[in-house]
Amino acid sequence: MSKFRNIILFLLIASLCTGASHAALLNEEAETAAGQVTVTNVTVNPSVPMMDDTATITITIKNNGDTAVPISTARLYSDELRIINDKTYGAVGTLGAGNSMMLTFSITADARDGIYYLWFYLDFRDAGSLKYHIPITIESTPLLVSVIDAPEIFQTGAKQKVTVLVANPRDNELTGVNVILEGEGIQTTQSVGFVGTLPPGSSKEVLFDVTANQDTILSCIATYRNGINEHTADTKIPVRTGDGKIRAEVIVNNIELAGGTGKYTLTADVTNAGLDEAYSIVTTVSDPAVPTDPYRSYIVGSLEPDDFSSFELTFSSRVNEIPLLITYKDSYGNDYAKEVTLNLNEIMGGGQSMGAEAGGSFSGDPMSSQGGPGGSTRGGGPGMMGSFGAGMNHIPVMEIGIGIVVLILIVAGFLLFRRIRNKRKLMKRLEQHSG
C-alpha cells in the first residue's frame, strides 16, 4: 500500500514539475513576443499647443515579431495636463505579427507655457508592459497683426488703401487665417481678407480699400486656428479724416482765347500739382456755355505729379462768365470734379492770363487774344507784321533796323562779288591779247 502511495506521489510531483516547466516556457515565449512590440511614431496636433488648447496625440505601435501579442490596456498619464479620454483603450485586443496599430488620445493644455512629460503604458496580457515617454511643449505666442501702410489723413468719403501684415512667429503652422477691418464709419470693399495657411516664421500682406466717413478707431482683427482651436489677434490704429496730403490736384494755367461774336476757341495747360498721379482727366465747358465741334471736350488722360498737358476746347456763349470743368480720378479710383470760372472779356481784352487752380483763383502774365505783346499765339498767329495797326508803341523798330542792316550787307556782298568776277575776266583777256 505504501509502495503504491509512493508511486502516486512521484507521478504527482513529476506532473507538477512538468507543468511548471511548461508554464515557464510559455511565459518566456510571451515575454519574447511582447518584447517585439515597439512605439514607431508619435504625432501631436497641434505640434505646439497654446495654453488651454485641445491637442490630439496619436501613438503608433507595431509588432515586429513573428507571433501575435495579446494586449490588455493602453493608457496615457500626466501629472500636469488633463487626459480627456484616458479610459478609451481598456481592452485593446491582439496585435498580429508584423501589424501596426494607432492609438489616439486627447489632452487639454491647461497649464502655463513650458515643457511637460506624458507617459504611455501598454499592458500585455501574458507578459509585462511597455512604457514610453512623450514630451509636450505649450507655447502661447499669438499671430502678429500690424498695419504697415495707411494714409496719415484719410480723405473723407474717399477710398484709400490700407495694408495689413499678418506674421506667424510660432514654431508650428497656423491655418484658416483671415483678416477683417472694423470701425464706426468705416467701409471696406472686401468683407474679409483671406490668407489661409501661414508656415512657421512666414508673413503675408493683405490689401484693403477703406473709406472713412469720420474720425474713428480702425480695428484689424485676424482669426486663425492652431490645430482645431480657434484664436483671434488684433491691432488698432486711429483714423483722422480731412484733406489728404498725398493726392492728385489739378490746376489750369496759360489760358488763351480766340474768336468772338459768341464762338470761341480756348487753349490752356492742365498741370498735376499734387503728390499722386491723376487719371482719366477730361476738360470741357458747362452751362451756360455750349460745347461745339470739333472739341466739345478734351481727353487729357493721365498726368504724373508735376507733369502737364495742353488741351483745346471749342464752344459758344452769350454770357461773359462761363465755367471750365475738369474731371479726373485718383489712384484709388475716386472721382473728382473741379470748376474754374472764366471771364471771357478779361481774357480777350488783354488782361490777366488766368492760371487757375481748380478751385477758381487766377494769376498769370498779361496776354491778349492774339497771344500777348509780341503778337504771337499758342497755335501761331499774325506775328511781327500783323501787329502794326495797334499804334506806334507797337512798331518793332529794333527788328526793322536789324533787317535793313542785313539787307545792306547782302547787297554789298553781291556787288563786291560781281566786281571781283569782272576784274578776273579783264585780266584773262589781257593775258590772251599779249599772248
Cis peptide, bond prior to residue 288, ω within 30 of zero: yes
Confidence of residue 50 (pLDDT cuts 50, 70, 90): very high
- What pLDDT, on the 0 to 100 scale, is given for residue 354? 38
Q: What is the 3-state secondary structure (H, E, C) of the chain?
A: CHHHHHHHHHHHHHHHHHHHHHHHHHHHHHHHHHCCEEEEEEEEECCCCCCCCEEEEEEEEEECCCCCEEEEEEEEECCCCEECCCCCCCCCEEECCCCEEEEEEEEECCCCCEEEEEEEEEEECCCCEEEEEEEEEECCCCCEEEEEECCCCEECCCEEEEEEEEECCCCCCEEEEEEEEECCCEEECCCCEEEEEECCCCEEEEEEEEEECCCEEEEEEEEEEECCEEEEEEEEEEECEECCCCCCCEEEEEEEEEEECCEEEEEEEEEECCCCCEEEEEEEECCCCEECCCCCEEEEEEECCCCEEEEEEEEECCCCEEEEEEEEECCCCCEEEEEEEEEHHHHHCCCECCEEECCCCEECCECCCCCCCCCCCCCCCCCCHHHHHHCHHHCCHHHHHHHHHHHHHHHHHHHHHHHHHHHHHHHHHHHHHHC
pLDDT at 356: 38
Given a cut of 50, whether residue 44 has pLDDT beyond it is: yes
pLDDT at 109 over 90: yes
pLDDT of residue 14: 53
Q: Are residues 210 and 118 in the same domain?
A: no
393-423 pLDDT, tens per residue?
445 666 677 778 777 888 777 777 777 777 7
pTM of the model: 0.60
Looking at 137, 160, 187, which one is the last position of a domain? 137
Structure confidence at residue 16 as a pLDDT band (50, 70, 90)? low
Is there a contact between 155 and 247 (Cβ–Cβ < 8 Å)? yes
| CATH number of the domain that residue 76 is part of | 2.60.40.10
Given a contact cutoff of 8 angstroms between Cβ atoms, the answer to whether 164 and 179 are in contact is yes
Residue 12 in this model has a pLDDT that exceeds 80: no
How far is Cα 146 from Cα 139, in angstroms, rounded to an integer? 21
Question: pLDDT of 262-313, one tens digit each?
Answer: 888 989 999 998 877 888 999 999 989 899 999 899 999 888 988 999 999 9
Same domain, yes or no, for 87 and 131? yes
Domain assignment present for residue 9? The answer is: no
pLDDT at 25: 46
User: Taken in order 263, 268, 273, 275, is the CA torsion positive or negative?
Assistant: positive
The answer to whether residues 219 and 263 belong to one domain is no
Higher pLDDT, 118 or 352: 118
Does one domain contain both 233 and 286? Answer: no
All residues at 6 or more sequence positions from 181 whose CB lies less than 8 Å from its CB, including other chains: 162, 164, 188, 208, 210, 218, 219, 220, 221
Residue 385: inside a domain, yes or no? no
State the pLDDT at residue 361: 31
320 near 345, Cβ under 8 Å?
A: yes
| Residue 355: per-residue pLDDT | 38
Place of cell 494714409: 151
Among the ranges given (5-14, 27-36, 57-66), the one the predictor scored with the smallest mean pLDDT: 5-14
pLDDT at 57: 96
Q: What are phi and psi of 262, to 5 degrees?
A: 90, -10
**Residues 227 and 271 grouped into a single domain:** no
**Domain count across the chain:** 3
- With respect to residue 184, please indicate whether it lies within any of the assigned structural domains: yes
Q: Is residue 62 domain-shared with residue 171, that is, in the same domain?
A: no
pLDDT at 406: 76
Q: Is residue 15 part of a domain?
A: no
Angle at 169 between CA 140 and CA 194, to 5 degrees: 100
Is residue 288 situated within a structural domain? yes
Q: Does residue 308 share a domain with residue 209?
A: no
pLDDT for the residue numbered 325 = 92
User: 254 with 365, same domain?
Assistant: yes
Q: How confident is the model at residue 383 (pLDDT cuts 50, 70, 90)?
A: very low
Is residue 348 domain-resident?
yes
| pLDDT in the model for residue 359 | 35
Report the pLDDT value the prediction gives residue 4, as an integer from 0 to 100.
Answer: 61
194-242 pLDDT tens trace: 999 999 999 999 999 999 999 999 999 999 999 999 999 999 999 998 8
Q: Best-predicted range by mean pLDDT among 167-176, 240-249, 299-308?
A: 167-176
Domain contains 314: yes
Do 254 and 364 lie in one domain? The reply is yes
Which of 92-106, 165-179, 323-337, 345-359 has the lowest average pLDDT? 345-359
Say what the pLDDT of residue 426 is. Answer: 64
Same domain? 95 vs 79: yes
The domain containing residue 315 runs over which residues?
250-369
- How much is the mean pLDDT over the chain? 81
Examine the fold and report which residue of 137, 161, 180 is the final residue of a domain before the chain moves on: 137
Q: Which of 52-56, 155-159, 333-337 has the highest mean pLDDT?
A: 52-56
Kindly tell me if the per-residue pLDDT of 351 is higher than 60.
Answer: no
Rg (CA), the chain: 49
Q: Do 227 and 153 have their domain in common? A: yes
* 353 in the same domain as 277: yes
Last residue of a domain, one of 193, 208, 242: 242
Per-residue pLDDT, 433: 58
CATH number at residue 357: 2.60.40
Q: Categorize the per-residue pLDDT at 366 as very low, low, confident or very high, splitting at 50, 70 and 90.
A: very low
Query: Per-residue pLDDT averaged across 27-45, rounded?
Result: 84
Domain assignment present for 213? yes
> Is-contact 147 162, C-beta < 8 A?
yes
Mean pLDDT of 138-160: 91
pLDDT at 10: 59
